[in-house]
Amino acid sequence: MLVAGRGERLRPLTDVRPKCLLEVGGEPLIVRAVDLLGERGLTRFTVVDGWLGDQVRVALTARFPAEWFRFVRNAAWAETNNAYSLWLARYEKPEPLLLLDGDLAFVPEVLDLLLDDPRPNRLLLRSEGELGDEEMKVRLGPDDTVSDLGKELPPGETAGESVGIELFSPGFAAKLFAELERRVLAGPGRREFYEAAFVELIRAGETVHAVDIGDLACLEIDTADDLARARRVFGPEP
């Protein structure tokens, strides 16, 4: 789970707490996410924190067993992007990787769609709704295979938005961390979105499938308007 950033567009709310601890439906975003994942038997989490990261650690270990978590600090959170945070989460032993951005509010059904899909590498795609400059857009090839991702892709040429939840096989995860390391050490990877590494692996022959969530609620919280919308959908703070 990646929660290192400050959430500049949500200031002043994020001056005193990380974005992932903003409450939606009466719970902090990251607590909601871990709760839903835990209900589905997932109890091993690597959390990459940064801005006010100690608050994140206290909130999670107060609610869940401390042994569920491996915490990693991105001390360079102010000058890096999520590709760098994901690289910091790397591990040596090949394992499946469920990647989740920590600023999401979603209904549990989106996790079920991801976990129940039998294909080894997949990402959640929201095909319903408008696409703008901020959305990470997805271009598809045959059989729902992902052929390209990027915010800059023309909306009319894409199938929808990658919502920020992916599940990868051990083999793909190992290649992903290797590609992230190559890009980080070369320089550009420090400021990139992690999807740039996805694209390189896809172009090298790896296959990633899109799992469409349709109109199921899965909202990214970047702005005050996003937060207000999420609270309308999931309920306000208590």
Q: Does 238 have pLDDT greater than 60? A: no
pLDDT for the residue 183 = 93
Tens digit of each residue's pLDDT (9 = 90 or more) over 143-194: 999 999 999 899 888 999 999 999 999 999 999 999 999 999 987 888 999 9
* Region 10-18 average pLDDT: 93
Over pLDDT 90: what percentage of the chain?
Answer: 84
Residue 44: predicted pLDDT: 94
Distances (CA, A) of 126 to 70, 100, 209, 217, 229: 30, 15, 13, 9, 17
Q: What confidence tens digit (pLDDT) does each residue in 42-97 have?
A: 999 999 999 999 999 999 999 999 999 999 999 999 999 999 999 999 988 889 99
Contacts of 18 (CB under 8 A, 6+ apart): 3, 6, 7, 49, 51, 52, 53, 55, 56
The confidence score (pLDDT) of residue 236 equals 66
Q: Is the whole model's pTM more than 0.85, yes or no?
A: yes
Following CA atoms 11, 235, 1, 6 in sequence, which dihedral angle do they give, to the nearest 10 degrees?
Answer: 0
**pLDDT tens, position by position, 200-223:** 999 999 999 999 999 899 999 999
Average pLDDT value for the chain: 93
Q: Which tokens go with 7?
A: 């959430």
pLDDT tens for 184-194 read: 998 788 899 99
Q: How many CB atoms lie within 10 A of CB 148?
A: 17
Q: Which two tokens stand for residue 225?
A: 């308007």
For the chain, list the strands marked E by DSSP. 2-3, 23-24, 27-28, 45-49, 69-73, 97-100, 104-106, 122-126, 137-140, 146-150, 160-168, 209-212, 218-220
Q: Can you list the domains of the chain with their CATH numbers?
A: 2-234 (3.90.550.10)
Q: pLDDT band at 130, cuts 50/70/90?
A: confident
